[in-house]
Amino acid sequence: MPAIFPSEEWLKGLEEKLNSDVRYGDIAKKWEGDLFFFIEPEGNLKEQLTFYLDLWHGKCRKVEYKPRPESYPNPVFTLTATYTNITALLTGQLNPMTAMMTSKLKVKGSMGYMMRNVPTVLDFVRVAQEVTQEIL
Amino acid sequence: MQPILKLDLTTGHTEEYHIPEKWEKDFLGGASLAARILYSTLTKELDPLSPESPLLFMMGPMTGTSGPTTGRFVICGKGPATGLWAESNIGGFWGPELRAAGYDGLWITGRASAPVYLWLNGSRLEIRSAAHLWGQNTYTTQDKVKEEVGEKSARVCVIGPAGEKQVLFASIMCDHGRMAGRTGMGAVMGSKNLKAIAVHGTNEIPVFDGTRYKALRSESNRKLRDDNEARVMREVGTAGAANYAEYLGAMPVKYYTSGSFPAVDEVSGAKMTDTILVGRSACQGCVIACGRVVKLPKDVSKRKGPEHETMVGFGANLLNDNLESIVDMGDLCDRYGMDTISTSNTIGLAFHLFEKGIITTEDTGGIELKWGDVDAIEQLVRMIGSREGIGDLLAQGSRLFGAHFGVEDEAVQVNGLEVAYHDPRGVSGMALSYATSPRGACHNQSDYFFVDWGHSNEEIGIEFLARHAQAEKAGNVARHQDWRSVDNAVVMCIFANVAPKEKVGLINAACGLDWSVADMMKFGERSWNLKRAINNRMGLNAQNDKLPKALLTPFPDGGSEGFVPDIEEMLISYYKHRGWDRETGKPSREKLLELGLDDMATDLWG
């Protein structure tokens, strides 16, 4: 299941892990919302990367690698980070709350909902870290 | 800088006080400059409620300039409950109005022979009778004064009945719900028979390099508007982090005896937003707008909603999960003119002692103090505000209330100021913030809980450390205190996430300085040490740097179960970082000289 980030295999691995991880399933049981990620180019990433996850009640209903933004015009959250910051998150060098509080991870969507569900956010990041075998 | 208007209420004499040029550079403005100005006045012998006691309304160099969250000012003096340096930070529009009237401060001493209010219209000052306003609540007083002076754009600072009766944690309110809550400056104002101060000004507020400042403030405000934290504050208010704080076990529950509050969803900023929020309010020039405007089903008009401290103080702290009652309690405290932290904390102590059987219905006048009983809470708030029955004892704050019943150590306070609602067992940096703050257990001299939540600031050496890290955090806390000392001088709201390089650029443009970030931090360190020196002169020593028993007792439950900060080790490390003498608690002579505080070095060390 662990894979190299960024890759479609990594995203599929994340989907699989989100759907099998008991702890995540429990913590995120009230979460309702899809995420659209923009990873801004930096270092080894030469062009903007996008991916999409539909998260619902502790499960991941759908993922898509490199979707076009117009395919998902109204995601509950749009998250934007540089390649450096997203990889720092995935390797545990950047704390998820630090990323949010210092706007290294830009969040578009309801901040109230996000703050009410911080445990879900933190556990989502834990799962993402666990499926990250290596950074490109 | 513009002069400070000095008024002796005993004689009615006024004069303009011109700030020495060197002090403008070394102490900038706000709380730092106020500390320098009042340094020689604040003695151990000074009774904070005597006519000689000063009350200084001090602006910062950016107050009213529409910079990022710079509508603020500070009110300083000697704390009546602490006997220490007191400063209370307040927003609204009053500060900018005073600067537009041509003054950067208003320094009041003396005592009027009967209740008065001031009407400062430009440079013309009138002292008017307030006999008819005495006893009126803060909102009514503001409205009446405004009507009487006949100037629609006048701004009014007031005290309520609690200030008149010198409740030791009485506050000063301006612009309807904006409060200088902490350290009892309302009691000092009440002791002077001063009910209100109305101000109106039409001058342009001065900045050194207007063109440069405008460009920088524009960029800074634009970034701040989109900042994640600012958006949380705007969307769900400061109580928006309630769920997270509870999850971490950083929200004190049942008077600091529990770290778990399953009903947190019912009394949070998110719940308020979903149910009763009808608007938001902002201080002058602020792009965040953290103020809440709510309307309950029973209300005929809109009113102020609670921020984090009020929400937790009258919520989890008292096992109360009734959001509407918290709105009512916050509103009641505002009308009496009382700090909601100290009020709810002291009431929490009463409930705690009642449960332990240390006080009974004989002490309370027949009121059963059962956790979560909204009627009992309301009765105590009213009794404190009017100093009736047990309220007269509670009005002295938790330290003296506890001492009255022989259990001072049960009071959750430091040096006479009640602990705010960020528990160091959940966010350990707050242990040092509370133990070493110059004004008692204050969460705003260093809101280090934000750092422990994740808000690092590498540019000034504040890295993210685990929230339960211990002595290794001491240097971080010291730097954070220095950083916040800059904000309290400028005066900028601590909710403004403005990067150090941006902040120093704004300061340089506003003041005509050429500081680096390191210079700015050195300034912050100077301010912190100056306030420490003031307190040392007033008798504070190393034994005062401590935490109450409750905060050193592990929570039995919640996200921080079992943890307590090792305050002794933390203090040893903190003193080393600060260059303070561990035995006396004073900054070393070398440190004071290094910071250019030569007079203080002589005073403290001979």
- For residues A120-126, give the mean pLDDT: 96
Q: What sign does the CA torsion over B334, B336, B342, B347 have?
A: negative
Residue extents of the structural domains in chain B: 4-200, 237-417, 425-546+566-605
Contact B260, B423 (CB under 8 A): no
Q: Which residues on chain A place their C-beta less than 8 Å from a C-beta of chain B?
A: 95-103, 105-107, 110-119
**A102, A111, A113 member nearest B456 (Cβ):** A102
Q: Mutating which of B220, B223, B227, B231 best tests the A interface, going by the most A Cβ atoms within 10 A?
A: B231
Interface contact flag, A103 B240, Cβ < 8 Å: no
Among B408, B534, B478, residue whose Cα is nearest residue B32: B534
Nearest to B240 among A105, A106, A112 (CB): A112
Return the number of other C-beta atoms located less than 10 Å from residue B287's C-beta. Answer: 19
Q: What is the DSSP string of B96-108?
A: HHHHHTT-SEEEE
Instruction: Pick from B223, B228, B231 the residue to mutate for testing the A interface (most A CBs within 10 Å).
Output: B228
Q: Distance between CA atoms of B402 and B376, rounded to whole angstroms?
A: 19
pLDDT category at A124 given cuts 50, 70, 90 is very high
Helices of type H across B356-499: 361-364, 374-386, 390-394, 398-404, 429-436, 449-453, 474-490
CB distance from B385 to chain A under 8 Å?
Answer: no
Question: What distance in Å separates the CA atoms of residue B121 and residue B239, rounded to the nearest whole number?
Answer: 37
Q: Which ipTM did the prediction report?
A: 0.89
Which whole number is the average pLDDT over A79-98? 95
Partners of B235 on chain A (C-beta within 8 Å) are: 110-112
Question: Chain A: nearest CA to B237, how far in angstroms?
Answer: 9
Q: Which of A82, A116, A106, A122 is nearest to B231 (CA)?
A: A106
CA-to-CA dists, residue B567 to A56, B174, B380, B435, angstroms: 44, 38, 33, 9
Helix (H, G, I), strand (E, B) or coil at A79: strand
Task: Please answer whether residues B118 and B142 qualify as being in contact, where contact means their C-beta atoms are separated by less than 8 angstroms.
Answer: no
- In a 10 Å sphere around its CB, with 0-12 CB exposed, 13-18 middle and 19+ buried, how is residue B361 labelled? exposed
Residue B254 distance to chain A (closest CA, Å): 22
**CB contacts, 8 Å: B273 with chain A:** 112
B161 three-state secondary structure: helix
**Residue B150 contacts A where some CB pair is shorter than 8 Å:** no
Chain A residues within 8 A of B247 when measuring between CB atoms: 118-119
Beta-carbon separation of B455 and A118 below 8 A: no
Going from the C-alpha of B22 to that of each of B28, B80, B418, B496, the distances in angstroms are: 9, 31, 36, 28
- Residues from chain B that touch A98, judged by Cβ atoms under 8 A, are 454-456, 464
List, for residues B337-394, the tens digit of each pLDDT value. Answer: 999 999 999 999 999 999 999 999 999 999 999 999 999 999 999 999 999 999 999 9
Q: Measured between CA atoms, how close is B229 to chain A, in angstroms?
A: 6
A·B CB contacts under 8 A = 69
How far does the CA of residue B454 sit from the closest CA of chain A (Å)?
A: 4
Residue B42 Cα to chain centre, angstroms? 19
**B236 at A interface, C-beta within 8 A:** yes
Q: Name, in order, each residue with C-beta under 8 angstroms of B297's C-beta and a sequence gap of 6 or more.
A: none
Which of B226, B270, B456 minimises the CB distance to A116? B270
Residue to test with chain B: of A89, A101, A122, most B Cβ within 10 A: A101
pTM, 2 dp: 0.96
Using the Cβ of B246 and the Cβ atoms of chain A, whether some distance falls under 8 Å is answered with no
Question: How would DSSP label each residue in B13-50?
Answer: -EEEEPPPHHHHHHH-SHHHHHHHHHTTT--TT--TTS
Is B455–A98 a contact, with Cβ atoms under 8 angstroms apart?
Answer: yes
User: Could you give the dihedral angle defined by the CA atoms of residues A113, A114, A116 and A120, in that order, rounded to the nearest 10 degrees?
Assistant: 120
B61 vs B207: CA distance, rounded Å: 8
Residue span of the structural domain in which A98 resides: 3-135
**CATH value at residue A95:** 3.30.1050.10
Nearest residue to B445 via CA among B333, B510, B345, B535: B535
The answer to whether residue A1 scores a pLDDT higher than 80 is no
| Residue B580 DSSP one-character state | B
Please report residues of A whose CB lies closer than 8 A to that of B236.
111-112, 115
A95·B454 Cβ contact <8 A: yes
Query: Which of B227, B243, B457 is opposite residue A115, by nearest beta carbon?
Result: B243
Contact A112 B228 (CB under 8 A): no
Helices (H), B249-314: 269-275, 308-313
Q: A10 to chain B, minimum CA–CA distance in Å?
A: 27
Rounded to the nearest angstrom, the gap between the alpha carbon of residue B473 and the centroid of all alpha carbons in its chain is: 24
Average pLDDT (A34-40) is 96
Residue A17 pLDDT = 97
Question: In B, which residues are within 8 Å of A78 by CB distance?
Answer: none
- CB B455 to CB A95 under 8 A? no
Residue keyed to tokens 């923009």: A38
- Three-state DSSP state, B213: helix
Backbone angles phi, psi at B8, to 5 degrees: -100, 110
Could you tell me which chain A residue has the CA closest to the CA of B238?
A112
Interface of B with A in 483-522 (CB under 8 A): 497
Residue A112 has pLDDT above 90, yes or no: no
Pairing type for strands A132-135 and A3-5 reads parallel
Nearest to A100 among B228, B243, B457 (CB): B228
Q: Which residues of A touch B232 (CB under 8 A)?
A: 111-112, 114-115
Total domains present in chain A: 1
The torsion angle over the Cα atoms of residues B31, B33, B34 and B40, rounded to 10 degrees, is: 130
CA distance B292 to chain A (A): 14
Report, as ranges of residue numbers, the positions in chain B whose pLDDT lies below 70. Answer: none
Question: Where does the pLDDT of residue A44 fall: very low under 50, low under 70, confident under 90, or very high at 90 and above?
Answer: confident
Of the candidate CATH numbers 1.20.1630.10, 3.60.20.30, 1.10.569.10, 3.30.420.40, the domain formed by B237-417 belongs to: 1.10.569.10
pLDDT of residue A128: 97
- How, if at all, do strands B291-294 and B277-281 pair? antiparallel
Q: Which residues contact B525 (CB under 8 A, 6 or more apart)?
A: B482, B485, B595
Strands A106-108 and A77-82: antiparallel
Substitution target from A115, A118, A121 for chain B, most B beta carbons within 10 A: A115
Chain B: residue whose CA lies nearest to A122: B244
Q: Please choose, from the candidates B417, B371, B412, the residue with its C-alpha nearest in 3D space to the C-alpha of residue B396.
A: B417
- Looking at the domain B425-546+566-605, which fold is it? 1.10.599
Apex CA B500: angle with CA B495 and CA B502, to 5°? 90
d(CA B57, CA B104): 8
Touching check for B128 and chain A: CB below 8 Å? no
pLDDT at A136: 84
User: DSSP secondary-structure letter at B414?
Assistant: E
In B, which residues are within 8 Å of A103 by CB distance? Answer: 226-229, 497
C-alpha to C-alpha distance for B244 and B420, rounded to whole angstroms: 17
Say which CATH class B4-200 falls into: alpha beta
Q: Do A102 and B455 touch (CB under 8 A)?
A: yes
- pLDDT tens digits, B67-107: 999 999 999 999 999 999 999 999 999 999 999 999 999 99
